[in-house]
Chain A
Amino acid sequence: MTDTITNWTKSDDARIEDAIRRGATRRDLLRMMLASGVALSAGGVLFGRAEQAVAATPVSGGHMKAAGISSSNADTLDPAKASLGTDYARCCSLYNRLTFIDGTGEPQMELAEKLETKDAKTWTVTLRKGVTFHDGKTLTSADVVFALKRHLNPAVGSKVAKIAAQMSEIKAIDPNTVEIVLNAPNADLPFILALHHFMIVQDGTVDFSKGNGTGAFVLETFEPGVRSIVKKNTNYWKPGLPHLDSFEFFAIPDATARVNALLAGDVQFCSSVDPRAAKLVDGQKDFRLSRSTVGQYTNLNIRLDMNKPDFVTGMKYLVDREQIIAAALRGFGDVGNDQPISQANVFHNPDLKPKEFDPDKAKHYFEKAGVLGQSIPVIASDAADFSIDMAMIIQASGAEIGLNLDVQRVPSDGYWDKYWLKAPIHFGNINPRPTPDIYFSLLYASDAPWNESQYKSPKFDSMMLEARGLLDQAKRHEIYNEMQTMISEEAGTIIPAYTTNADGISAKVKGLEVNALGGMMGYAMAEYVWLEP
């Protein structure tokens, strides 16, 4: 057995570590390594190394500085309005949710002790006892009712007003119990309540500048668009947490400056390392990349009401997924099969194969649609990650078979308002969501607010409603599999790849795990990580 392994980087180590944490067996790991071409003999060494890393005991203390991608004067401490990663990270450190989603993608109880239902319509939330807010007040059902009801008030400007609208009744039964009645059965409520926006704030809060929550940290400094510093909550109800004494978060929008700050030792964590700079971080001994592919994607939307179905089918064959991953994403992605439920989700349909890159077949469909020889505008923008590179790749493939795609690059500012959902052919950018139902009702139902390709199918709608009310997971999986196939075949959204997010971290940062809600452990990193002294 040898100790030197070629072609093995720190991030592979991290991947193995993540797998072990998520409960992978030795056999799983060996299969994983065989798949990536590492000799079997190396397996033992790696396994030992990774196990050591996992087994290390957390150290308490330290001040961690982390840099996100963007922040602005619109930064907020109001979870209902949170919109950027910086907001999520800050809110996660100050507040708790009723439930949270763990590394395996399953909901776990947080402020709720129990979440019970018989029909998926009426839910009883039993609150954990002895939880206090930072100002000393004990958490009661009144706080939960207030926090949830806020989303229904348009003046609040909640990002999840639409999702919250299904809670037709939210009432306190006793100081420790809340009853939530939905207007239709939805077995996903435990997932929904785990969304960042549903964090619990104190009853009657109007001024959020104090960040008064039940979370692991207490607010020390908050300067919108500049930074926030939080200090360890010594009364935190989760035993042993957090490990850090304090956590500072700010944004460095410039990708190069962000990586430089990490390399210079000014921060211990930086979000979203540009794939082009990945080697710089990954190759060094003091740093590593924490990768997560949890279902974020950039997709090409072809509106079905403005284009011919044959053209859409042709485009699905024209997209060279492998090349997009290799060139546009520089390896930071997994092949997608034109539907939003990624491999990270338990409901992913593994039998649904992506369309092969086949220019001849594509040409056949384009001829049928009669679009060859015309100039077809495609809108791309920096606002949708990697979309300009993707558009160029598809344009080049099209040029070879006589399809003239006119790629129009438009500014990021105003993109979501002016082009997204509106232009006949354009790019979208969707962040990870925990359940298929959220993806489907947001993006593919006939009345979906973000129906990117104007996909309308009564059959799809009724299947969605049926699955939503089912408490039987196997039956549900079956329905979701079929729905994924329908989207992949019928909708006008081409999802070439699920993108991998790579965060750069100092080797001293320990305990960072992959989470289905996105990078930084679904933004809740501060509560769980620790710094090696």
Chain B
Amino acid sequence: MNAEIAGMIGKRLLLSLITLLIVSFAVFFATNMLPGDTATILLGQAATPEAVAGLRHAMHLDEPALLRFLRWLMGVLTGDLGTSYANNMPIAQLIGYRFVNTMELAGITTLVAVPLAMTLGITAAVLRGTLYDRIVTVLTIGVISVPEFVVASTAVLIFAVYLKWLPAISFVNEVHSLSDLLRMYTMPVVTLTFVVSAQIIRMTRAAVIETLSMPYAEMALLKGASRSRIVLKHALPNSLGPIVNALALSLSYLIGGVIIIETIFNYPGIAKLMVDAVATRDLPLIQTCAVIFCLGYLILITIADIVAILSNPRLR
């Protein structure tokens, strides 16, 4: 690796940090625009002005919002995520196992979706114009067009309510064996695979087709290289940049965007935690969730960028 590449990567990382700071401030600002605060929401209908004032004081909510934000930021920098306004539990504890759940779901989905989607994408590109290619293309468009809640609800109706093969909701806390794991994760993972694969398939197919039409691919063909060798050795490494980018975008969705899946399968992940936190105006929790989502996104995008830089022969 030469100095130029190191410099580019360093710049990327610095930009990521600045983005993170901007995002957390933007989220803080947006949260403050919402009507009501934790005290009014916790008291609900019982919120008389005196009760709200009393609780606000007890929770230090009467301090300036910016001060609370800065305090939270300082805490995060020193590794202290603070405590939730809504239930006084340490945020690290609240987020902890739900983050693990989300990563589990994202991980399993990645393991299933990425090899599947890339294989389909590459084979469709190689067999461009054949019946196989057309079937794959039509199916991916079909899958992109159907919203995930339709896929998930239909799956629940068929496999849980009528056939009773799988549970309608995911009790991930009760996974003790491989068969439990299969039962609990099959429907959420299949639904998510539907959503993320379609993009990857289309992107991979397009990128591989483009590279295959390059002069050097033709040159390799003329030199008598086998088709699989051309694709795997010549075309794929050079189309890696756009493919990894598509992968990063699709996978980043798995960290924060799976709220619909979490709702339908009652899966205790982190997206629902943040939605709850917004509903209760639980500022430290919202901030921490937002930073985690943003961090996940940035890590994936940065990795994609680095891979793109490294796979660029001009920079190698």
* Partner among B43, B50, B84, B97 whose Cβ is within 8 Å of the Cβ of A73: B84
| Any B CB within 8 A of the CB of A260 | yes
Contacts of B35 in A (CB 8 A): 413-414, 417-418
Are the C-beta atoms of B94 and A224 separated by less than 8 Å? yes
Q: How large is the interface on A (under 10, 10 to 19, 20 to 34, 35 or more residues)?
A: 35 or more
Q: Indicate whether A103 reaches chain B with its CB closer than 8 angstroms.
A: no
- What 0/1 pattern do residues 46 to 62 of B give for CB contact below 8 A with A? 11101101110110000
Stretch at the interface among B19-27, B121-129, B162-170, B199-207: B162-170
Which residues of chain B from 138 to 164 have any CB-CB distance to chain A below 8 Å in the complex? 153, 156-157, 160-161, 164
Instruction: State the CA gap A260–B51 with chains docked (Å).
Output: 40
Residue among B48, B84, B86, B94 having the largest count of chain A Cβ atoms under 10 Å:
B86
Tell me how far the C-beta of B71 lies from the nearest C-beta in chain A, rounded to whole angstroms: 20
Within 8 A of B (CB), among A401-445: 413-414, 416-418, 420
Tell which of B48, B263, B266 has the most Cβ of chain A within 10 Å.
Answer: B266
Give the chain B neighbours of A154 by CB distance below 8 A.
50-51, 53-55, 57-58
B252-274 interface with A by 8 A CB criterion = 263-266, 268, 272-273
Closest to A75 in B: B87
Q: What's the minimum C-beta distance from B233 to chain A, rounded to whole angstroms?
A: 48
| CA–CA, A487 and B277, complex, Å | 39
In the complex, whether A55 has a CB less than 8 A from a CB of chain B is no
B276 at the interface (CB under 8 A from A): yes
Say if the beta carbon of A357 comes within 8 Å of chain B: no
| A221 contacts across to B, CB distance below 8 A | 173
What's the Cα separation between A156 and B280 when bound, in Å? 17
| A474 contacts the other chain (CB 8 A) | no
What separation, in Å, do the CA atoms of A155 and B59 have in the docked complex? 8
Residue B44 at the A interface, CB < 8 A? yes
Determine which residue in A81, A155, A417 has the highest number of CB atoms from chain B within 10 A of its CB, and name it.
A417
Question: Is the CB–CB distance between A252 and B43 below 8 Å?
Answer: no
Contact check, B45 vs A450: say whether CB atoms are below 8 A apart. yes
**Within 8 Å CB of A304, what residues of B?**
none
Q: Which of A254-303 contact B (CB under 8 A)?
A: 254, 256-257, 260-261, 263-267
Interface of A (DSSP majority class) = loop
Q: Does B110 contact A (CB under 8 A)?
A: no
Q: Which of A104-112, A113-121, A157-165, A326-334 is the contact stretch?
A: A157-165
Q: Does B40 contact A (CB under 8 A)?
A: yes
Given contacts A83-B44, A224-B87, contact A155 B169 (CB under 8 A): no
Residue of B34, B40, B272, B276 with most chain A CB atoms under a 10 A cut-off: B276
- Shortest CB distance B83–A (Å): 12
Chain B residue nearest in CB terms to A71 = B276
Closest to A251 in B: B266
Task: Give the residue name and chain of the B residue nearest to A262 (CB).
Answer: B168
Contact B272 A225 (CB under 8 A): yes
**A531 → chain B closest CB, angstroms:** 18
Q: Does A93 contact B (CB under 8 A)?
A: no
Q: Which residue of B lies closest to A72 (CB)?
A: B276
CB distance from A387 to the nearest CB of B (A): 15
A155 near B87 with CB under 8 A, answer no
B289 to chain A, nearest CB (A): 10
A266 to B44, CA, bound (A): 31
**In the complex, chain A residues whose CB is within 8 Å of the CB of B225:** none
B293 to chain A, nearest CB (A): 16
Q: Which of B44, B50, B156, B168 has the most CB of A within 10 A?
A: B168
Interface centre among A155, A226, A263 (most CB of B within 10 A): A226
Q: A83-B42, A260-B156 given as contacts; is B268 within 8 A of A72 (CB)?
A: no
Tell me, in angstroms, the Cα distance from A209 to B87 when the chains sit together: 10
Q: How far is the CB of B164 from chain A (nearest CB, A)?
A: 6
Q: Which of A225, A227, A264, A450 contacts B168 (CB 8 A)?
A: A264
Q: Are A261 and B169 in touch, CB under 8 angstroms? A: yes
User: Can you name the residue of chain B whose Cβ is closest to the Cβ of A159?
Assistant: B46
Q: Tell whether A250 is near chain B: CB-to-CB under 8 Å.
A: yes
Q: How far is the CB of B148 from chain A (nearest CB, A)?
A: 14
Q: Answer whether A74 and B161 are a contact pair too, CB < 8 Å, given A83-B42, A162-B46, A416-B44.
A: no
Bound together, the chains give a CA A161 to CA B263 distance in angstroms of 34
B282 contacts chain A at the CB level, 8 A cutoff: yes
- Chain A residues near B55 (CB, 8 Å)? 154-155, 157
Give Cα A161–Cα B34 distance, bound, in whole angstroms. Answer: 26
- Asked whether, in the complex, the Cβ of A157 is within 8 Å of the Cβ of B39, the reply is yes
Cα-based distance from A256 to B53 in the complex (angstroms): 39
Which of the listed residues B89, B169, B265 has the most CB atoms from chain A within 10 Å of its own CB? B169
In angstroms, Cα B266 to Cα A253, docked, is 9
Report the nearest B residue to A415, measured CB to CB. Answer: B35
Q: Among A75, A257, A266, which residue has its beta carbon within 8 angstroms of that of B264?
A: A257
Q: Shortest Cβ distance from A45 into chain B, in angstroms?
A: 32
B285 CB within 8 Å of chain A: yes
B167 A417 Cβ-Cβ under 8 A = no
- Could you tell me if A155 and B264 are in contact, using CB atoms closer than 8 angstroms? no
The residue among A75, A157, A252, A413 with the most chain B CB atoms within 10 A of its own CB is: A157
CA distance A225 to B156 in the complex (A): 22
- Across the interface, which residues of A come within 8 angstroms of B157, CB to CB? 260
Cβ A160 vs Cβ B46 within 8 A? yes
A263 nearest in chain B by CB position: B161
* B70–chain A nearest beta-carbon distance, Å: 23
Q: Which residue of B lies closest to A224 (CB)?
A: B87
26 contacts between A and B (CB under 8 A): A73-B276, A74-B276, A83-B44, A154-B53, A154-B55, A155-B58, A157-B55, A224-B87, A225-B268, A256-B153, A257-B156, A260-B157, A260-B160, A261-B266, A263-B160, A263-B161, A263-B168, A264-B161, A264-B167, A266-B160, A266-B167, A266-B171, A413-B34, A417-B35, A418-B35, A449-B48
4 closest A-B pairs by CB: A154-B54, A155-B58, A74-B86, A264-B168
Interface residues of B (CB under 8 A from A): 34-36, 39-48, 50-51, 53-55, 57-58, 84, 86-87, 89, 94, 97-98, 153, 156-157, 160-161, 164, 167-169, 171, 173, 263-266, 268, 272-273, 276-277, 279-280, 282, 285
10 additional A-B pairs beyond A74-B280, A162-B51, beta carbons within 8 Å, are A73-B285, A74-B87, A75-B87, A224-B87, A260-B156, A260-B168, A266-B168, A266-B171, A413-B35, A449-B46
